[in-house]
Chain A
Amino acid sequence: MLIISNLSARVAGKDILKGVNLVVNPGEVHAIMGPNGSGKSTLAQVLAGREDYEVTGGSVSFEGRDLLGLPAEERARAGLFLGFQYPVEIPGVNNVYLLKAALNAKRKAAGQPEVDAYDFLALIKQKMKLMQMSESFLSRGVNEGFSGGEKKRNEILQMLVLEPRLAILDETDSGLDIDALKVVSQGVNSLRDPQRAVVLVTHYQRLLDYIVPDFVHVLVGGRILKSGDRTLALELERRGYDWVQESNAA
């Protein structure tokens, strides 16, 4: 589904990604862990198509298409979703309007008609219930005045409505209390199926207790230094990231 080959990228003149390789198949959940500044978020943003992040080398194929050749909006319509680490507040743009516009953009790209207004509202309400969000959300601006936890729930809500083929969730667990973490995890798990894949970017192994990954990768200094199954996350928790760097140097 996703094949990242030797990907390098630069942000504000600084090389951040220095040859990332990763293959994600349908049905898989991958966790990318790593210390601060290792390039995790950069990788997520580059995959989603952030234009001010300059790709300096390598290639990315998504369902057989050259992902890097597509603008951000086309990546989204092709079924790629980025759950932001810091979802931006956009006062004046209504949440529901955005959701509907996003869903219709995707449907249009797939040659489907626009969603019926009644069906759409029913869908939103059902997903909001799953995410335990209050109905006041419907009338508010995008993330406007949301707490950190509400913003993350909103990201997952958007994901549930858009049903992406590949979800990249950038530190979706940060800033969540344990109850919110459970709700968010439940949302992500509800989308797991053999046709979809999830890439979780996270600092902490805590999230992986709730969303159990098939693979864990450790990103340090812009490269994946180690990959393994979920036990790698537990080992990282015990031994810290220095251990990866040391064992790699050795």
Chain B
Amino acid sequence: MQHTLVALVEDKPGVLNRVASLFRRRAFNIESLTVGHTEQPGISRMTIVIDSNVTNAERVTANLYKQVNVIQVSDLAEQPAVSRDLALVKVAAVPERRSEIMQLVEVYRSRIVDVTNDSLIIEITGDENKIDSFVDVLRPFGILEMVRTGVVAMARGANPQPSFNGNGNGNGHHQEL
């Protein structure tokens, strides 16, 4: 099962290295990791997707907390959340097949961001399943190049503070936050 962890970290040199090094050191497997700024200056947000069948999410969370620069970790698997991935797909598009592709673009609510005589770049946003399926249907046309950002995610609802799962037997960091 996929697990999405959101970590708020201090925006300091080397923090990404610390987190990446932790995953390597503890043999945790990362499916995807994205980093970006947040609404608060000096704080970055990492969205880390792991396969919890392979890697224990509680252990990852506890070890992330051990990093001095990691401020807060929340597990979005435990609450309703929105997750999005963005992909740019460059697909071979000879004139006779172009309209077919454009129909698919419609269906998937994606957009064409670049057109040449024999290719298109399509931008698509959505959860991972949607993008996977879009990529599958484009494959027969010939995918020339593709890039995906990796998942970013956010808990639903007004509470800006990601909630913490307190089971009294876990990582001990769930209290008084």
Decide whether A and B assemble into one complex. no
Interface residues, chain A, CB within 8 Å of chain B? Answer: none
Interface residues, chain B, CB within 8 Å of chain A? Answer: none
